[in-house]
């Protein structure tokens, strides 16, 4: 049974960010692997190297950055205030007592709002109470959801795409911004999320080529994420990954061991007593 893939023509960066958001929702909620794979297959050809290295693409990971500041709103209000006019104010002529009594008399049912208008206003009030506006997520909440999506991903291609997004978020920016993002990833314990996602892939005795690529993508993400993590060696040791790394290196002739995985081993595992055979 052939499955038709969604068309990738006519999609821009805004559509791609929406696809990433949808994929993060699917993976973090442990949705069906086929559904995750179909979205990842649409994202992968669109998420090119030039777009991955563009700092402006990752704005959707910080929703609060697009909200206007209160000071700017106050300035706009001050600018909108009308200037006092130099027109002469005409004095109102005093009305006769009879005219005043006639004006103050109630006009009857014409001055009352209609019952239909009252029902409409009450319905609008009920709708606004039933559907209150949802507050925007902070950047920590968005990144934490991305890390959970990487851990709970059921498809290797979705893992590769999400790791590329995480790596671009940490690297594709100016140095001061990148340092702040790396510290945020350390504070959110991003290394343990990646290690928990890597463990079932490394435990496979006969991994598929796509599983090897997913493991390589997680290794590259860990190399960048762990740049500011001083406890990365301890985290690797406590996660039980050292024997798995050792077995993968020992079986390098049968299994494809990339230079990225070797970089991760040199960065995280040599101080933990990992013995590499000559």
**Model pTM score:** 0.71
| DSSP notation for 246-261 | HHHHHTTTTS---HHH
Question: How many angstroms separate the most distant Cα atoms in the chain?
Answer: 114
Q: What token pair was written down for 99?
A: 């005219």
- The dihedral formed by the CA atoms of 156, 160, 166 and 171, expressed in degrees to the nearest 10: 160
- How far apart CA 50 and CA 216 sit, in angstroms, is 21
Ranges of each domain in the chain: 13-63+137-272
pLDDT of residue 73: 47
Look-up of token digits 């929703």: 63
For 195-225, what is each residue's pLDDT tens digit?
999 999 999 888 898 999 999 999 999 998 8
Enumerate residues 6+ apart whose C-beta is below 8 A from 269.
Answer: 233, 236, 241, 242, 245
**Within the chain, which residues score under 70 in pLDDT?**
1-10, 65-135, 269-278
């Amino acid at each position: 049974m052939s499955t038709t893939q969604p068309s990738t023509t006519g999609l821009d960066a805004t559509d791609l960010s929406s696809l990433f958001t949808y994929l993060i929702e699917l993976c973090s909620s442990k949705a069906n692997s086929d559904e995750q794979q179909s979205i990842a297959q649409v994202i992968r050809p669109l998420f090119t190297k030039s777009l991955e290295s563009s700092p402006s693409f990752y704005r959707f990971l910080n929703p609060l950055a697009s909200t206007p500041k209160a000071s700017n709103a106050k300035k706009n209000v001050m600018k909108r205030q009308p200037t006092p006019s130099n027109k002469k104010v005409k004095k109102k002529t005093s009305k006769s007592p009879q005219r005043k009594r006639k004006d103050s008399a109630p006009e009857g049912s014409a001055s009352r709002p209609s019952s239909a208008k009252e029902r409409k206003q009450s319905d609008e009030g009920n709708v606004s109470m039933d559907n209150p506006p949802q507050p925007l997520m902070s950047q920590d909440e968005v990144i934490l959801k991305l890390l959970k999506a990487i851990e709970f991903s059921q498809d290797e291609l979705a893992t590769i795409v999400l790791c590329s997004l995480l790596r671009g978020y940490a690297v594709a920016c100016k140095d001061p911004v990148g340092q702040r993002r790396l510290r945020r990833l350390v504070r959110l314990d991003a290394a343990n999320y990646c290690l928990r996602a890597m463990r079932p892939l490394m435990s496979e005795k006969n991994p598929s080529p796509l599983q090897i690529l997913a493991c390589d993508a997680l290794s590259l993400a860990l190399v960048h994420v762990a740049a500011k993590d001083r406890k990365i060696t301890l985290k690797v040791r406590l996660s039980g990954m050292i024997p798995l790394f050792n077995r993968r290196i020992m079986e390098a002739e049968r299994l494809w061991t990339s230079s990225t995985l070797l970089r991760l081993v040199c960065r995280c595992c040599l101080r933990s007593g990992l013995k590499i055979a000559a």
